[in-house]
Amino acid sequence: MKDQRTTKLGEHQLSPQSLMMGYGYNPKLSEGSLKPPIFLTSTFVFESCADGKRFFEGITGKRTGGPEGLVYGRFNGPDQEILEDRLALWEGAEEAAVFSTGMSAITTALMAHVRAGEVILHSGPLYAATEKLIDSVFGRLDVTFANFAAGAPLEEVRALIEQSRSKRRIAVIYLESPANPTNELVDIAGIVRLRDELYASDPENRPLIMVDNTFLGPVFQHPIRHGADVSLYSLTKYVGGHSDLVAGGIVGNKVALAPIMALRNTIGTITDPHTSWMLLRSLETVALRMERAESNARRVCEFLRAHPKVERVGYLGFLDPASPQGRIYASHCSGAGSTFSVLVKGGEAEAFRMLDALQLVKLAVSLGGTESLASHPASMTHLSVPAARRKQLGITDNLVRVSIGIEDPDDLIADFDQALAKV
Ligand SMILES: Cc1ncc(COP(=O)(O)O)c(C=O)c1O
């Protein structure tokens, strides 16, 4: 689009896919360069003292509406701002902020909104580092937590909200859907409705709803459209998509994002210009990559489900549409993604044998890249989770987590076939 701020062609609404190539960037400001340059600078020159003063008033919150100009590398930069504008489009969010890692995004969001003496309510399981952050780090700061299983019926969540708020103010309801590594879905829209109903007469104390959307976002699930205040991403995963960077992102409404941006300015958890540029490049292909990985995963899961050495495949595409999880899937997700669990018949030894035998699929603990990866949560990503809680969450010793990439699906099936033959 000639005007880099336009999202419409006449009356026609353009899709995020089309806008990823130019939105938010004006070539005239960069010598006509088709693509945004990487702006490697730590600070920006003001045209006048009046400008500098006005920008700082925006940065420090003395004036609402943000900085209006570029100031200093810890606050903002052209690559980061273009990236934020584009990231927000996928969920139709008012605003976005980008961070050095997914965990720095989550930490900044929670620190900005939670105070001593309050409680965080969360679904379980969460990514292990997030659980540790809430339990150990916030625990030291007189912040308590209470949790419910990701797929818990809404009546159970209602009881927990009522019980928790009778003791402490609930600052945040923090959800992860699908959950890592069990893939269990949370009824985001149901919890938003419940929160709105329970706080109708006490809107000042309404807890924010934050959702970790790393597994299906930004293509297959949009928590902001279901009423969540904040949707969080490890951009390291599907958005980055090539296993060559770490970064995080937050999209949401301005009221929820303002304190998060202010804290990011103070502590410096923003991502750097080079990583932001890489993410701009990645966003151009995110839909293509996620759609291809999704169709590959379906083929691989069908093969695994029929294999005699496999006990079960935990894949969203196999949910019974009449089950509670199947209903959440139908109302929240437009695709099953490509991260799932395989329960190999046996225990740790059998799971290890399959993992050690895989050739094309690499043994590594990330997900969402162009290449397929597999790992063993009980002994790797979730080792720090106490054994009793792992059991309660269904993170068993025979569970292998798989993230399918964009390889040829027949080659992936051949790899699982030969690896399972060695179990
Ligand atoms: C669901 C989820 N959230 C957050 C994170 C943390 O992201 P990062 O490693 O970019 O800090 C991860 C990492 O695996 C994750 O799987």
Could you report the per-residue pLDDT of 286-317, keeping only the tens digit for each? Answer: 999 999 999 999 999 999 999 999 999 999 99
Task: Report pLDDT digits (tens) over 203-212.
Answer: 999 999 999 9
Task: Report pLDDT digits (tens) over 178-198.
Answer: 998 889 999 999 999 999 999
Tell me how far the alpha carbon of residue 177 is from its chain's centroid.
9
Q: What is the mean pLDDT of residues 2-6?
A: 83
Q: What is the mean pLDDT of residues 122-129?
A: 92
- 104 CA from centroid of ligand 1 (Å): 10
- 106 CA from centroid of ligand 1 (Å): 9
Closest atom of ligand 1 to 215 CA is 1
Q: Is 234 in the pocket of ligand 1 (CB under 6 A)?
A: yes
In the three-class reduction of DSSP (H, G, I as helix; E, B as strand; rest coil), residue 90 is classed as helix
pLDDT score at 143: 98
pLDDT score at 64: 80
- Counting residues of the chain whose pLDDT is more than 90, the rounded percentage is 91
pLDDT higher than 80, residue 2? no
pLDDT score at 394: 86
Could you list the beta-strand ranges (E) of 14-106: 95-99
pLDDT higher than 90, residue 20? yes
- Type of residue found at 35: K
Q: Is 212 in the pocket of ligand 1 (CB under 6 A)?
A: yes
pLDDT score at 323: 98
Q: Which two tokens stand for residue 174?
A: 């923090």
Confidence class of residue 199 from pLDDT cuts 50, 70 and 90? very high
Could you list the beta-strand ranges (E) of 179-229: 208-212
pTM of the model: 0.96
The residue written with tokens 């923090």 in the block is: 174
Residue with CA closest to ligand 1 atom 9: 102
pLDDT higher than 90, residue 25? yes
Cβ-Cβ contacts under 8 Å for 119 (sequence gap 6 or more)? 143, 144, 145, 146, 164, 167, 168, 169, 170, 171
Distance CA(394)–CA(419), nearest Å, equals 24
- 8 CA from centroid of ligand 1 (Å): 34
- 213 CA from centroid of ligand 1 (Å): 10
331-346 burial, b for 16+ CB within 10 Å, e for fewer? ebbebbbbbbbbbbeb
pLDDT score at 253: 96
Report DSSP state, residue 138: G
Q: How many CB atoms lie within 10 A of CB 207?
A: 24
Cα within 13 Å of Cα(128), Cβ side: 17
Q: Is 339 in the pocket of ligand 1 (CB under 6 A)?
A: no
pLDDT higher than 90, residue 135? yes
Task: Report pLDDT digits (tens) over 62-101.
Answer: 888 777 899 999 999 999 999 999 999 999 999 999 999 9
Q: Is 398 in the pocket of ligand 1 (CB under 6 A)?
A: no
